[in-house]
Chain A
Amino acid sequence: MSWILEAEAQLGRSLTVKRWRWPSGLALITAIDRGAPVVSYQTWFRVGSRHEQVGRTGMAHLFEHLMFNQTETLPPGEFDRVVERTGGESNAATWVDWTYYRLSLPARDLELGVKLEAERMTRLVLDEGPVESERDVVTNERRERVEDDVDGWLDEQLMALAFEVHPYRWPTIGWMADIRALPLDDIRAFYRTWYAPNNATLVVVGDLDEAALLDLVATHYGAIAPAALPDDRAIDEPVQTVERRIRGGKPIASDRVLAGWKAPGQADPDWPVLELIATLLAGSPSARLHRRLVIEKELASSVDSQLTPFRDPSLLRVAVTMARGHRAEVALAEIDAVIADLAEQPPAAAELDKAKNLVETDFWAALVDADGKAEALGHHESALGDFRTLTTLAARLAAVTADDVSRVVRAYLRNDRRSIVIAEPDGEGDDGDDAGDDEDAA
């Protein structure tokens, strides 16, 4: 058996990115970056919260914790100890479409990383004691990030409101009741199902010898058999036809608004247009919403916009923190007016160029170190199926026209396709349509 070189592309001035494939289906993306004597070794599994079942939410994220415990050859705690003894760090992240594990290692310790990751891909030990301990940790993580955090609550409520069918409707960390009840047998089955070489991409960026890396990976992963993966097609969400809106009381000083408009998946040709629209709305101090809400009318203390980079259609979101004494509805009226302007009148060339320059700066700044490069490559490969969607992004952004902006605003930023969650200071709410904030709500 041997590696097949499947794809090759340039990223920036000096980075050559290659994708290799092993007969088991394991993909390996390599990029040599000798800027520092370090390597970023990331393992991306194409499993996220979208692959969970109702009543079993939080399963993918729980593995982000469990994967650092015992394996067949490593006793509990040893994984972190051997990494930290080198000066390296390990971490992980889970989102809707993927889970990834990151080792940042001194370049001389690359082989250690290969051995560790190959070991835990299929030889994790899932016993009751460590699982219960991590379950407690995750419930505390959820309390910190959702129950006691108004922004976490808004985020969770918005996704649950905007999606009726798609698994994007439940939080990646899981509902509290589900986290507490995930059965050990289901946890083990989830691991056997999704943690397999043909569902993984290794992304290795840094000061490395490519031929030696290929040999190492072949040696340590080569015999791992592929798994029979479940069907993983796109999931259709019914078209939204009416605005959805909920509100809830929180111990906060002023109203907060999180609004989301249905937007296409990241691979859609309109996605770069929407990224520029998000920047035009609230991506900089001179952006339209920031200028109007924060500076000119002093209705809000902050406004942000974000286009969520998901595989399936997701949301373009706008978040507003109101100034004391101003209600959320006032901001929503201003947002409506700004969007109407953008729909009717394409932005001037200078304003569009401004958005393109801002996005370009952010693009390069995210790729400044080995971890950032590996993360960007891993996301595009895992969520969109090909890392080259990253290397071609700059050209796609450059091709966007002012007419594209107005066309896409009209197509997507429609009130009948938006969902709105409002958090308001305790005691000011309308009891009739409270979303409620019980920690077990699902």
Chain B
Amino acid sequence: MRLVFEPSGDAPLVWFEVCALGGAARDPAGVEGLTRHAAMLARRGTATHDRAALDETLDGLGAALDVAVGRDTITLSGLCLTRNLDAVVALAAEVLAAPRFADDEHQRLSRETPLILDEIRDDDSSLASRWFDREVAPGHPYARTAVGTEASLARIDRDTAHQTWRGLFVPRNVIVGIAGDVDDAGAHALATRLTERLPDLDPPAPITGDAWVASPGRRTVLVDKAERTQAQLRIGHLGPRYGDPDTAAVLVLETAFGGMFSSRLMQEIRVKRGWSYGAGCALRRSRRAHWFEMWMATAIGVAADALALTHELYVDLAARGLTAEELDFARSYLVGSMPFHLATARQRMQLAVRDAAFDLPIGYTATLPAQLGALDIDAVRAAATRHLRPEDAVTVAVTTARDTRDALAKVGEVEVVAFDAY
């Protein structure tokens, strides 16, 4: 067990996280949603508290105790008033070590999760992200849906979910983060209490290898939904791993192209043309190589023009990199913004837990300013050539096919799919 602790006496609050390595990317093929199901079910009762009693007790203490499943991790996080910390930690420890996994709650959750799929399909931005994850690099573990599909959810059984939880939350597989109104000795005692009852099993084998091959060739998947006035666009491809030796260079590329209001995408798409309220890009931060992704939401009538212009800008970025002025500006922004990412004890704790989960060296984030300072324009251009692949960029457009298909087809090959087909 590793402990990250950030004290702060500003408010009578304590935040804590118990993060286990192994998230949705580990779900077996065809059983997508398993890890999420296990996490949700673990929160629904313990050996001594059924779901109603657990909710009632935690709420009575004014506490929040939530589970979150990412691609790489599964995290139990808590927030509570200092005066109630002992009682909340006792309940959290019980959720971790002795979850009830009651059959009636398993059945109920199996009925509830398809409703989450409905809510995703009702929301265009969520729907675009769900389809983009699936299409951008088929076969990649991160392409698996964390929520699942109707078919995969039907294959989840309670015992497998229980084994999944029990196999992940073992002492050598967890990172504990504590922040807020507690002292050093108290934090260590809390970490011990949170983890001392976990089963002493071997940690699961990590997912290895970054050599997944992205789907080659530029293409567009049009997710057809009725009555849209806009096109929600996601454009991207498999990028490098966050923490890769080129990370600093990719950060300045990301920042200068779509990470600020002054960036190229925002200026060209929004400021000069008024085509979208927002336009940006980011490398997804994960333990392994993940997507480099651009996004915008344009009026239907200009969706094809916006996509064509984005391709044009991206081809130029990949070929030429940045100007010296852009590098200087992006570097200044990134270094200057560092205090905002580290401003609160909770932020510092969460960033340190994330870095540890990504298998980055302790204090990795603090080394970024030095890495950024050492960059020159040639290094940035070389990183752009290595990692930006406009020729393989996949576009997902959630919009109404009747109104946009012909125009989008002029930009490249278009496949139309029904919005609720996945």
Residue positions of A touching B, CB distance < 8 A: 12-14, 33, 35-38, 68, 77, 80-81, 84-90, 104, 106, 132-141, 143-144, 147-150, 250-254, 284-287, 291, 295, 298, 301-302, 321, 323-324, 350, 353-354, 356-361, 364-365, 367-370, 426, 439
A84 touching B262 by the CB < 8 A rule? Answer: yes
The CB with the most chain B CB atoms within 10 A, among A35, A140, A253, A365, is that of A140
A144 / chain B contacts, CB cutoff of 8 Å: 230, 277, 297
B59 touching A358 by the CB < 8 A rule? Answer: yes
Complex CA–CA separation, A61 to B111 (angstroms)? 42
In-complex Cβ contact of B274 among A89, A133, A357 (8 A): A133
B228 / chain A contacts, CB cutoff of 8 Å: 148
A252 / chain B contacts, CB cutoff of 8 Å: 118, 122
Besides A77-B271, A323-B115, 14 new A-B residue pairs in contact (Cβ under 8 A), listed by A number: A14-B10, A38-B339, A38-B340, A80-B260, A133-B272, A137-B274, A137-B276, A140-B274, A140-B297, A141-B277, A301-B116, A358-B62, A368-B11, A369-B344
A350 touching B60 by the CB < 8 A rule? Answer: yes
B353 CB-CB contact with A under 8 Å? no
B338 / chain A contacts, CB cutoff of 8 Å: 87
Complex CA–CA separation, A285 to B44 (angstroms)? 11
B55 touching A285 by the CB < 8 A rule? Answer: yes
5 A-B contacts (beta carbon < 8 Å)? A87-B334, A143-B297, A148-B229, A150-B122, A324-B114
A148-B124 contact given A301-B116, A357-B62, CB 8 Å threshold: yes
Binds A, one of B77-85, B206-214, B241-249, B409-417: B77-85
B13 touching A365 by the CB < 8 A rule? Answer: yes
Residue positions of B touching A, CB distance < 8 A: 8-13, 51-52, 55-56, 58-64, 79-81, 84, 108, 111-112, 114-116, 118-119, 121-124, 225-230, 232, 260-262, 267, 270-277, 297-299, 329, 332-340, 342-344, 346
Complex CA–CA separation, A116 to B278 (angstroms)? 23
A286 touching B59 by the CB < 8 A rule? Answer: yes
Complex CA–CA separation, A252 to B120 (angstroms)? 10
In-complex Cβ contact of A38 among B9, B11, B80, B343 (8 A): B343
A149 touching B115 by the CB < 8 A rule? Answer: no
A353-B60 contact given A84-B333, A140-B299, A365-B13, CB 8 Å threshold: yes
How far, in Å, is B223 (CB) from chain A's closest CB? 12
B332 touching A87 by the CB < 8 A rule? Answer: yes
Complex CA–CA separation, A14 to B349 (angstroms)? 22
Residue of A nearest to B276 (CB): A140
B62 touching A285 by the CB < 8 A rule? Answer: no
A301 touching B333 by the CB < 8 A rule? Answer: no
B299 touching A36 by the CB < 8 A rule? Answer: no
In-complex Cβ contact of B13 among A90, A302, A361 (8 A): A361
B226 touching A426 by the CB < 8 A rule? Answer: yes
B343 touching A35 by the CB < 8 A rule? Answer: yes
A140 touching B277 by the CB < 8 A rule? Answer: yes
Complex CA–CA separation, A361 to B335 (angstroms)? 33
How far, in Å, is A345 (CB) from chain B's closest CB? 18
Complex CA–CA separation, A35 to B80 (angstroms)? 20
A361 / chain B contacts, CB cutoff of 8 Å: 13, 62-64, 79-81
A81 / chain B contacts, CB cutoff of 8 Å: 262, 329
Residue of B nearest to A132 (CB): B274
A35-B230 contact given A324-B118, A357-B61, CB 8 Å threshold: no
In-complex Cβ contact of B81 among A33, A149, A251, A360 (8 A): A360
A77 / chain B contacts, CB cutoff of 8 Å: 262, 267, 271
B230 touching A143 by the CB < 8 A rule? Answer: yes
Residue of A nearest to B66 (CB): A285
Complex CA–CA separation, A304 to B340 (angstroms)? 31
The CB with the most chain B CB atoms within 10 A, among A137, A285, A369, is that of A285
In-complex Cβ contact of B60 among A141, A254, A354 (8 A): A354
A253-B336 contact given A13-B9, A85-B329, CB 8 Å threshold: no
How far, in Å, is B281 (CB) from chain A's closest CB? 16
Complex CA–CA separation, A358 to B346 (angstroms)? 19
A150 / chain B contacts, CB cutoff of 8 Å: 122
A364 / chain B contacts, CB cutoff of 8 Å: 11-13, 81
In-complex Cβ contact of A254 among B52, B118, B275, B335 (8 A): B118
Residue of B nearest to A35 (CB): B10
Residue of A nearest to B328 (CB): A85
A324 / chain B contacts, CB cutoff of 8 Å: 114-115, 118
B344 touching A368 by the CB < 8 A rule? Answer: yes
How far, in Å, is A333 (CB) from chain B's closest CB? 20
B13 / chain A contacts, CB cutoff of 8 Å: 361, 364-365, 368
Q: Which 5 A-B pairs have CB atoms at the shortest separation, nearest pair first?
A: A87-B336, A357-B62, A136-B274, A253-B118, A36-B343
In-complex Cβ contact of B121 among A90, A253, A301 (8 A): A253
How far, in Å, is A74 (CB) from chain B's closest CB? 13
A350 / chain B contacts, CB cutoff of 8 Å: 60
Complex CA–CA separation, A87 to B339 (angstroms)? 9
Complex CA–CA separation, A147 to B225 (angstroms)? 13
A357-B115 contact given A84-B261, A87-B332, A136-B275, CB 8 Å threshold: no
B267 / chain A contacts, CB cutoff of 8 Å: 77
In-complex Cβ contact of A89 among B114, B232, B337 (8 A): B337
A88-B337 contact given A12-B11, A36-B342, A133-B274, CB 8 Å threshold: yes
The CB with the most chain A CB atoms within 10 A, among B55, B112, B122, B344, is that of B122
B275 / chain A contacts, CB cutoff of 8 Å: 136, 140
How far, in Å, is A170 (CB) from chain B's closest CB? 20
Residue of B nearest to A133 (CB): B274
In-complex Cβ contact of A80 among B64, B261, B344 (8 A): B261
A368-B230 contact given A87-B337, A136-B274, CB 8 Å threshold: no
Complex CA–CA separation, A106 to B12 (angstroms)? 26
How far, in Å, is B147 (CB) from chain A's closest CB? 13
Complex CA–CA separation, A250 to B60 (angstroms)? 38
B271 / chain A contacts, CB cutoff of 8 Å: 77, 133
A37 / chain B contacts, CB cutoff of 8 Å: 339
A286 touching B52 by the CB < 8 A rule? Answer: yes
B342 / chain A contacts, CB cutoff of 8 Å: 36
B8 / chain A contacts, CB cutoff of 8 Å: 35
B333 / chain A contacts, CB cutoff of 8 Å: 84-87
B11 touching A360 by the CB < 8 A rule? Answer: no
Residue of B nearest to A321 (CB): B119
Residue of B nearest to A141 (CB): B277
A147 / chain B contacts, CB cutoff of 8 Å: 229-230
A284 touching B55 by the CB < 8 A rule? Answer: yes
Residue of A nearest to B260 (CB): A84
Complex CA–CA separation, A361 to B114 (angstroms)? 32
In-complex Cβ contact of A84 among B61, B297, B329 (8 A): B329
In-complex Cβ contact of B10 among A106, A359, A368 (8 A): A368
In-complex Cβ contact of A354 among B59, B262, B297 (8 A): B59
Residue of B nearest to A206 (CB): B343
Complex CA–CA separation, A139 to B346 (angstroms)? 37
A370 / chain B contacts, CB cutoff of 8 Å: 343
In-complex Cβ contact of A301 among B56, B115, B123, B270 (8 A): B115
A368 / chain B contacts, CB cutoff of 8 Å: 10-11, 13, 344, 346
A68 / chain B contacts, CB cutoff of 8 Å: 261
